[in-house]
Amino acid sequence: MTIIKANKKVTKISLIKSKIMKKLFPFYQILCKISIMKIICGLGNPGREFKFTRHNFGFLVIDNFQKENSFPDFEISEKFLAEISRKKIKGTEILLLKPQTFMNNSGKAIKKIFLTFKIEPQDLCVVHDDLDLSFGEIKISFKRGSGGHKGVQSIIDEILTKNFWRIRLGIGKPKDKKIEEFVLGKLGKEERLKLKEILKFTNELIKIWIENPQKAQTLAPSFSLSMDFKNSSKNP
């Protein structure tokens, strides 16, 4: 008799717990959805003198994305060694990041973000210039080596993985200049004329990446195919 009563009591408690969980589950789902964070990091060098250099293509794209999508103004974070801006887009927390460590130490800022927030590498998208692509070409890569880009290599070294997304913006290769001189040089006249269209496209591309990285990866090359930028990488 005692066993039957005990079993009834356990069953009653289980039913109460089940009802409570059913009521709380929708709120739990909302909390989980809100807690998701994605990092979009543009690479470049701090300082006005570097603003329109080829190596600062990542900064230009992030600045444009911040402006076009009404993110708060960038604030300097000493903790993260970067300029940051945060906003929720469809329940996902988006953190825009511009490391202030200079290009070759970009990974230090990313590492601090990873140590502070529970970020999975696949929720990181790094936007940067790429010598291996002609000016105007855009590709999205995942789980790929640095290709000699020191800023990207710094990130790989600091977070110990290459399993993150990259939006690679072509700048072409110089014919009569050293690589360092070329990437730190200002965008040429023809390049500047095409910049507006590139920024417009990458703005849409990043929004697609936030919801569906694979779809963004598929769409990225279509920009290059539709724009005649192949011969735009001439030196100024």
Partners of 55 in the β-ladder: none
Q: What is the mean pLDDT of residues 28-48?
A: 75
Count how many domains the chain has. Answer: 2
Distance of CA 161 to the CA centre of its chain: 15
Residues 3 and 65 in one domain: no
Per the structure, the complete domain to which residue 69 belongs is given by 36-226
Residue 236 included in any domain: no
3-class secondary-structure state, position 157: helix
Q: Give the separation between CA 119 and CA 121, rounded to whole angstroms.
A: 6
Q: Is the pLDDT of residue 234 over 80?
A: no
| pLDDT number for residue 20 | 55
Active site residues: 55
Residue found under tokens 């360092």: 180
- The share of the chain scoring above pLDDT 70, in percent, equals 80
Residue 136 included in any domain: yes
| pLDDT number for residue 19 | 54
Residues 217 and 121 in one domain: yes
Residues 153 and 42 in one domain: yes
Tens digits of per-residue pLDDT, 103-149?
999 999 999 999 999 899 999 999 999 999 999 999 999 999 999 99
Q: What is the mean pLDDT of residues 48-57?
A: 97
Q: What does the DSSP 8-state code read for residue 164? A: S
